[in-house]
Amino acid sequence: MPPLNRAVAITALFIALCLLASCGDPQDRGVIVGSTTPATVLADKLQRQSQASMQIVANSGPQKVAGQHSQILFGDLHVHTTFSPDAFIMSVPFMGGSGLKSPADACDFARYCSSLDFWSINDHAEGITPRLWQETRKSIRECNALSGDSANPDLVAFLGWEWSQVSTDPSKHWGHKNVIFLDTADDAVPTRAIASPREQLAKAPLGKMAQLLLTLSDFENRAFYLGIQGYYDEIAQTPVCEPNVNTRKLPPDCLELAKDPRELFTKLDQWGFDSIVIPHGNSWGLNTPATTTFNKQLNREQHDPARQILFEIFSGHGNSEEYRDWRATETDENGQLYCPTPSEKYLPCCWRAGEIIRERCTIQGIDSADCEQREITARQNFVNAGNSGHMTVPGQQVTDWLNCGNCTDCFLEPMDHRPATTGQYALALTDLEQPQAPFNFRFGFIGSSDNHRAMAGTGYKQTQRKRTTEAFGPPSERQARMAPGDQREPEPYSIPFDPAGVGLGNLRNMERQNSFWLTGGLVAAHSNGRHRDAIWDSLKRREVYGTSGDRILLWFDLLQTNGDIPMGSETSSAVNPRFRVSAVGDFAQQPGCPDHALKALGQERLEWLCGNECYNPANERHRIDRVEVVRIQPQITANEAVGQLIEDPWKTFSCPDDPMGCSIEFEDEDFVPGKRETIYYVRAIQEATPMINADNLRCKYSESGECIEVNPCYGDYRTPADQDCLAPAEQRAWSSPIFVTFNPSPEPTAQEFVQ
């Protein structure tokens, strides 16, 4: 054997043995590099905001804005590192990733790249082994230890995880929920993260041969591929905890499972630690079955009103706010699923599946009656396959689906929008099982990123799409041949979906999802200080709001003579409520990073972690274009149609061309005549600026307004990595609602509002 061939053979044998032995160093928490943010930077933040606040007060007349004495702090309560299995796969070079990102990297990013005030770590509990949970706790404490004065820290890091529950059965699908804790000490937080039962996450996504081929084809990055098996082996080798045992009596080295929210809340009750549970990504159709609704969660078993108080309305997955009456799949009187016909603004993907097959069939000259039957079969096959419906169309590509599943009149909608799991739908519901004590969701609204690259608050600049969003895919055509994707030939017929042998990468239409990834949102807290307890108190009383990424300043208050009531509050009134909303746009951004970030991280780490682009505000602010008010009246009978209870927008107010903001007042003259509880929240909408994937599939429309062609923004080599797929969009902030109950008694209530 020639020396070169012998060397290749020996190398291949070595790699194969390593794979069998799970070679590769296990991930650790990493090392935080940046020190405390300079005090001058914090002082500048406060001064800039104070100037805007004082201007708003001056514009608001004699009554000042409620909560004006507080600061508005910006954070991200949904951040993944490569301790999460999906983040691990996205990070590998073969999928276009930039490398493993640890909890320490997340801390440095939040402090110096995005310059946040607070953040939380939320890796998927299904992949958090006992060792990784210990590493997570240590890293969060290390991050906080570098925050300076505990009464006025530069950054507060919260500890948490994500309970990532998914089911193809709508009756068993509960969705994803983040769990965050006030404290970080080992004796003040659970010993284990609590996961949902998901067997697929305990399996390596690549076989040994595939890992061998990848390692040989990308030898420079061999450490990633050699470590894959070890990472998944660590998950698989963690024993599952014994069920139906008090969580405090379980051993520390097992994987604890909760199959539904009730069980999760029970386990959190057993621990007894102060925590908040945040539903998120709810209307994201990639994981959510088409007929799922929030109805089954609104009861005293599956909802914990003391913990589940916030709702992530916007993230890198899109906008989960807006309700619509259409559905992706309908159920007939016999309980059978079927494909609904398209409406003016919505094309169901099951219907498009039939059109694709009909078009192929017609091109091949097949009998028209036969083609029609194939079209009908294709629709039903798609419906029966649920979230894997795309796999019923052989050889399907992203371009085949046009803009099916899109909420075409929504703001930055998620792929395959599910209206019955949105924030508006949730607020309109009422559980009337106990008529004398109706039960409702009382959510405050937040935004966050759901970033899987250890990058909290990535929306500060709309640049570097492959870094700041979840876009991923093979960087070359050669590598794409070994990646997940539909490699079948296009056929003029549909096939029933058989999940046997279908990898996780194909069970969901991840290739199409790349056109919908966004940089993500933020949570803003009206806080009486920068310290941990003050921020936590803001979250608990729901005096928070969400943004689509920009740091818009927003106040929303119910005006009363004995003290204004801020967003997030519950109150009662015998008179028509009057409100004030005030908003100031975010600062325009300068290119590059401020000097203090370079000094803290060094040029090499700044480039690797931040891409040489940090939060770097100029002195000019974007203009607030308008304010929209949404009014919702929760059900008082079970047969009230939700769509009739949501008025969006109920009122719209144009704002002056003034960079120092907008302040308006309005009154609900229908409240007393209507004599029913009413929920109000506002959107402050900023002037249009470029945003990544704001036009998602980039449709070409016919004269009649029909999408006839799409130009997807791919995550792989087909769209250049330096192309950001920008389109104009109006960044916005969503206030938390104010809940007003009609009370005909003139006597004041004992409690002004309930936290």
Q: What is the pLDDT of residue 485?
A: 73
Dist CA 57 CA 229 (whole Å)? 59
Handedness of CA 346, 351, 355, 357 (dihedral sign): positive
How do residues 485-511 score in pLDDT, each as one tens digit?
788 899 999 999 987 767 666 788 989
For residue 551, the Cα-to-chain-centroid distance in whole angstroms is: 17
Domain 39-324+422-468+517-687+730-742 has CATH 3.20.20.140: yes
Helix (H) / strand (E) element for 573: namely strand 570-573
pLDDT higher at 20 or 390:
390
Q: Is the pLDDT assigned to residue 461 strictly greater than 50?
A: yes
How do residues 582-607 score in pLDDT, each as one tens digit?
999 999 999 999 999 999 999 999 99
Low-confidence winner among 107-121, 344-358, 486-500, 621-635 (lowest mean pLDDT) = 486-500
Please, what is the average pLDDT of the chain? 90
Low-confidence winner among 77-91, 264-278, 348-362, 386-400 (lowest mean pLDDT) = 77-91
pLDDT higher at 234 or 536:
536
Q: Is the pLDDT assigned to residue 751 strictly greater than 60?
A: no
Q: Is the pLDDT assigned to residue 215 strictly greater than 90?
A: no
Q: What is the pLDDT of residue 367?
A: 93
Q: What is the pLDDT of residue 62?
A: 44
| DSSP, res 436 | T
Q: Is the pLDDT assigned to residue 93 strictly greater than 90?
A: no
What's the token pair of residue 64?
A: 């000042």
Dist CA 30 CA 490 (whole Å)? 47
Handedness of CA 741, 744, 745, 748 (dihedral sign): positive
How do residues 717-743 score in pLDDT, each as one tens digit?
999 999 999 999 999 999 999 999 999
How do residues 95-131 score in pLDDT, each as one tens digit?
777 778 999 999 999 999 999 999 999 999 999 999 9
Low-confidence winner among 29-33, 203-207, 431-435 (lowest mean pLDDT) = 203-207
Could you write out the three-class secondary structure of 143-207?
A: HHHCCCCCCCCCCEEEEEEEEECCCCCHHHCCCEEEEEECCCCHHHCCCCCEECCCHHHHCCCCC
How do residues 415-458 score in pLDDT, each as one tens digit?
999 999 999 999 999 999 998 889 999 999 999 999 999 999 99
For residue 694, the Cα-to-chain-centroid distance in whole angstroms is: 16
Q: Is the pLDDT assigned to residue 284 strictly greater than 60?
A: yes
Q: What is the mean pLDDT of residues 60-76?
A: 67
**Domain boundaries for CATH 3.20.20.140 within the chain:** 39-324+422-468+517-687+730-742
Helix (H) / strand (E) element for 547: namely strand 544-547
Q: Do residues 419 and 323 touch, judged by C-beta distance below 8 A?
A: yes
Residues 6+ apart with CB under 8 A from 439: 298, 299, 300, 303, 430, 431, 433
Q: Do residues 704 and 647 touch, judged by C-beta distance below 8 A?
A: no
Q: What is the pLDDT of residue 213?
A: 58
Low-confidence winner among 61-70, 149-158, 289-298, 312-321 (lowest mean pLDDT) = 61-70
Which residues, in sequence order, are bridge partners of residue 445?
A: 311
Q: Do residues 428 and 420 touch, judged by C-beta distance below 8 A?
A: no
Dist CA 477 CA 470 (whole Å)? 20
pLDDT band at 29 (very low <50, low <70, confident <90, very high): very high
Rg (CA), the chain: 26
Helix (H) / strand (E) element for 78: namely strand 71-79
What's the token pair of residue 44?
A: 């500048």
